[in-house]
Amino acid sequence: MKIYGVAVLSACFIAGQLIGEALGIFFHFDGNIGGVGFGMLLLIVLGDWIKKQNWLDAEAESGIHFWSGMYIPVVIAMSSTQNVKAALSGGWVALVVGVFATLLCFSLIPVLSRLQKKTDPSL
């Protein structure tokens, strides 16, 4: 049944959020630290394990795949609800800092990527 897959996904999501909130409280920070990331790691590990136990059939798994298929539509909805007007009305400082600081971060991607290849244990 599809709902089993969705339920596994929900369990991982909520557990991840709980870990993120707990970390936030631990560091005295009003918010969630990496809740989504922990949820993803849980789903990767748990999903793999459940599959090996044969507890999730293809039908149940399709419940999870439905949501990953909805991911791009969610992002489209998200971009259409951004405060674009405010972004453009922040003046020159906002525009210059926003664009150039971001470009600089982009330029570092190949640098770190080379570092990763050098230290790749599997090579």
Partner 1 sequence: MDFIPKLFAKNELIVAFLVVGLIMLVSVFISQKLLRNKIPGAAVAITLGLVLAYFGGKKGIADIPLFAGLAFFGGSMMRDFSIVSTAMGASLSEIKKTGWVGILSLFIGIAVAFFIGGSMGYFMGYTDIKSVATIGAGACTFIVGPVTGAALGASSDIIAISIAIGVIKTVVVTILTPLIAKRIGLNNPQTAMIYGGLIGTTSGVAAGLAATDPKLVPYGALTATFYTGLACLLCPSVYYLILSLFI
Burial 69-101 (b: 16+ CB within 10 A, else e): eeeeeeeeeeeeeeeeeeeeeeeeeeeeeeeee
Minimum Å gap between C-beta 35 and partner 1 is 7
Comparing CB distances to partner 1, the nearer of 54 and 89 is 89
Minimum Å gap between C-beta 114 and partner 1 is 9
Comparing CB distances to partner 1, the nearer of 53 and 81 is 81
CA distance 7 to 67: 12
Minimum Å gap between C-beta 38 and partner 1 is 9
Comparing CB distances to partner 1, the nearer of 3 and 77 is 77
User: Which two structure tokens, joined as six digits, stand for 16?
Assistant: 């991840």
Contacts of 73 (CB under 8 A, 6+ apart): none
Comparing CB distances to partner 1, the nearer of 3 and 115 is 115
Minimum Å gap between C-beta 54 and partner 1 is 16
CB 79 within 8 A of CB 72: no
